[in-house]
Structure 1
Amino acid sequence: MSSPDILHAGMRRSGDPRPTPEGLLADPAVSTPLKLVLKAWLRRDPVDAARDAALLTLALERIADEACGLTLDSPRRGGGDDGSWL
């Protein structure tokens, strides 16, 4: 975030920058598919849901990287002046 006054995706003004489930559900910028998954996963054990979400994140990042022609062996280019990805 560029400013402490700007809050995105359900983030609250505490020391914890992570979004809250309530904030995500109330945020009109959050996609409907994400909200549906969140509602369903809130009924699960939070540790199991977090572990599954982390695995899903890795799998989706891999799909996105492959769609962009990136692999762990290839350098990430395109974002910064120094040729870095971000």
Structure 2
Amino acid sequence: MIGMVQSLNVSVASALILYEAQRQRQNAGMYLRENSMLPEDEQQRLLFEGGYPVLAKVAKRKGLPYPRVNQQGEIDADADWWATMQAAG
């Protein structure tokens, strides 16, 4: 890579940073864990707020609890939750 420094653009720099972060986590054994260090309810909150930010805002505004997000990243909510989300107000 000597002499090629001027060709290091933002996307390449980002890829290098992400690779290095992943490599350090792998060396620290962080990907070997069976279970997360975060409690299940915190994981679910982060998944819902990060994956469905618009629905999270509406649910919070209406005072609804967040539904579970399944292994495929889909919302696992009953019909009553969806009806309340769709209702005006």
Q: Which has the larger radius of gyration?
A: 2
Q: Which has the higher strand share?
A: 2
The reply to whether TM is greater than 0.5 is: no
Name which structure has the greater RCO, CA cutoff 8 Å, separation 6+: 2
Structure 1 length as normaliser, TM-score? 0.29
Task: Give the alignment's TM-score, normalised by structure 2.
Answer: 0.29
Which is richer in helix? Answer: 2
